[in-house]
């Protein structure tokens, strides 16, 4: 989830219910299931914080619960603050505000969660209820080492994420914390299905440019370096997506060996044309990156056409 350092070395065995990753049933529910919003839900259970099968982390900023809506039987995700502090509450409020804009402006867009409800529990903790996607994080498909036979799949996945970002940036909203845990993925008849989640770090100029609190959680190696000292923009998400693409290509090992630019520059196993695309996307200077999602998408599509011609990207 946001801010976590993605040093994944092994995915743990999981427990599944209705296609969802759930935490150990021994975990105590730290909620009152008879009070709102849980009184409108059934089958409530803790959701493993990284959705790869690990036990729920009770020390995380937020606790996650999966459930089914009593009326519609649709899966929902409930996020509840678990640590006191204004910053944690502001992050969750920021997510609710960005999802509200997305729901209003892109009501039928399949890439983003549908905000259902948000407020405070009886004990004062903040909560947020949204649709629960059953896709798993992209991280669950990535190992520590490269998988060259999946190159076309990686590029097609990246192109689908650019479609989601194009819609998001037109609002405009910038995600700021794209990483392999916040991009959910599956394949349907070999076509990538992509969801983007976790909008706590998102930047919405309509709100934040007028003094609204903004101190986003970020993920080392994936969040653009300028987010610590200047407002993010489309180029910040391009940096993140470039890092995600390189992680799919090279595996997670790069994140243990230094910064992404240095690692990608030294990667002679990667085609030089693709290496130049990645290096431009993850340039530490935003002025030298692709200026928007569209030219980055076009560069990926052109490269994909060259290595796998005859398709329409």
C-alpha distances in Å from residue 294, one per residue of 27, 148, 247, 284, 312:
45, 26, 21, 20, 16
Q: What is the pLDDT of residue 177?
A: 97
Q: State residue 1's pLDDT score.
A: 33
pLDDT of res. 86: 83
Per-residue pLDDT at 286: 98
Closest-CA residue to 185 (of 137, 242, 115, 253): 137
Fold of 31-131: Phosphorylase Kinase; domain 1 (3.30.200)
Three-state SS for 236?
Answer: helix
Q: What's the confidence (pLDDT) of residue 312?
A: 67
Tokens standing for residue 253 = 């090992």
What pLDDT is recorded for position 117? 97
Question: CATH number of the domain at 136-307, please?
Answer: 1.10.510.10
**CA–CA distances in Å: residue 8 to residues 12, 160, 180:** 10, 24, 11
- DSSP secondary structure code for residue 12 in this structure: P
Helix (H, G, I), strand (E, B) or coil at 78: strand
Are the C-beta atoms of 255 and 221 separated by less than 8 Å? yes
Token pair belonging to 169: 């940036």
| pLDDT in the model for residue 82 | 83
Domain ranges of the chain: 31-131, 136-307
The pLDDT tens digits along the chain (313 residues) read: 333 323 222 222 233 333 344 444 434 578 999 999 999 999 999 986 555 433 344 446 789 999 999 999 999 999 999 876 788 899 999 999 999 999 999 999 999 999 999 999 998 999 999 999 989 999 999 998 888 899 999 999 999 999 999 999 999 999 999 999 999 999 998 899 999 999 999 999 999 998 887 888 899 999 999 998 999 999 999 999 999 999 999 999 877 777 899 999 999 999 999 999 999 999 999 999 999 999 999 999 999 999 999 876 6
Task: Give the separation between CA 186 and CA 147, rounded to whole angstroms.
Answer: 17
pLDDT value at residue 21: 40
pTM (2 d.p.): 0.87
- Burial of 119 by CB count in 10 Å (0-12 exposed, 13-18 middle, 19+ buried)? exposed
């Amino acid at each position: 989830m946001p801010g976590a350092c993605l040093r994944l070395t092994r995915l743990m065995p999981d427990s599944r219910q209705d296609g969802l990753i759930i935490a150990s049933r021994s975990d105590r529910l730290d909620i009152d299931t008879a009070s709102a919003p849980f009184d409108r839900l059934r089958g409530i259970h803790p959701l493993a914080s990284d959705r790869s099968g690990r036990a729920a982390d009770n020390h995380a900023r937020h606790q996650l619960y999966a459930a089914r809506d009593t009326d519609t039987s649709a899966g929902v995700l409930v996020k509840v603050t678990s640590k006191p502090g204004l910053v944690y509450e502001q992050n969750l409020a920021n997510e609710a505000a960005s999802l509200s804009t997305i729901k209003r402006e892109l009501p039928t867009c399949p890439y983003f969660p549908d905000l259902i409800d948000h407020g405070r529990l009886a004990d004062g903790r903040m909560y947020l209820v949204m649709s629960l996607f059953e896709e798993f994080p992209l991280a669950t498909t990535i190992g520590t080492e490269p998988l060259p036979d999946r190159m076309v799949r990686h590029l097609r996945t990246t192109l689908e994420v650019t479609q989601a970002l194009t819609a998001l940036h037109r609002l405009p909203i910038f995600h700021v914390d794209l990483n392999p845990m916040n991009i959910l993925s599956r394949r349907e008849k070999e076509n990538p299905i992509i969801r983007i989640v976790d909008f706590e770090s998102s930047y919405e100029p309509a709100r934040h440019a007028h003094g609204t609190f903004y101190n986003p959680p970020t993920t080392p190696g994936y969040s653009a370096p300028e987010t610590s000292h200047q407002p993010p923009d489309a180029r910040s998400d391009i940096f993140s997506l470039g890092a995600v693409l390189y992680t799919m290509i090279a595996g997670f090992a790069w994140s243990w060996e230094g910064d992404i630019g240095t690692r990608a520059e030294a990667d002679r196993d990667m085609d030089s044309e693709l290496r130049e695309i990645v290096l431009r996307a993850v340039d530490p200077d935003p002025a030298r990156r692709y200026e928007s999602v569209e030219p980055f998408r076009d560069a990926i599509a052109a490269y994909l056409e060259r290595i796998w011609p005859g398709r329409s990207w």
